[in-house]
Amino acid sequence: MRNALVGLAAFLSIAGASTAASAAPDLVPIASRLTHGVVSVRNVGDAASTPSVVTLNCSKPPATGGCAEIPAMYMPAYTNPAFPDRVSINVPALTPGRVFNHRLRFWDALAWSSGTYHLTVTADAGAAVAEGNEANNAGTHVKVVP
């Protein structure tokens, strides 16, 4: 019986060590918040993330025109040469469960023409964070303008 308990204790110790070693952040976008002009990223993982970048891309399928133009005065704050043609926002390190929210300063100044827009938010766009799940980094919000 004592040997069985020692063996169980060793197994639990090894299992616990592998769980701790596999702890990783997992950054996911909350695309629905774009309804209010907010870009959000949540760390749903079980470890803190390092700083990262979230991007926003707009498309109007089929190619029936472009997206609303961001006024030039706002562009310097959202431009990153590593992500051309995308709005880029720096995200600080996030502890597990924490949400980063960024209100787009230009959102209320946009003039949307009639149509359907696909707004894609990509968390950890530069793949700077070693995540537990890299497949859930993009989310799309559909904006319909009558």
The residue ranges of every structural domain in the chain are 24-145
Return the closest-CA partner of residue 29 out of 20, 41, 13.
41
pLDDT > 70: percent of the chain: 84
Confidence of residue 12 (pLDDT cuts 50, 70, 90): very low
Rounded to a whole number of angstroms, the CA Rg of the chain reads 21
| In the predicted structure, residue 64 carries a pLDDT above the cut 90 | no
> Can you give the pLDDT at residue 103?
98
Give me the mean pLDDT over the 68-95 stretch: 95
Rounded average pLDDT over 69-98: 96
pLDDT band at 66 (very low <50, low <70, confident <90, very high): confident
Q: What strands, in cross-sheet order, belong to the sheet with 52-59?
A: 87-91, 52-59, 115-122, 138-145
- The confidence band for 62, taking pLDDT boundaries of 50, 70 and 90, is confident
Residue appearing with tokens 């827009």: 117
The domain covering 24-145 belongs, at the CATH homologous superfamily level, to Immunoglobulins (2.60.40.10)
The stretch 127-141 carries a mean pLDDT of 96
Q: How far apart are CA 33 and CA 38, in angstroms?
A: 5
What pLDDT band is residue 19 in, cutting at 50, 70 and 90? very low
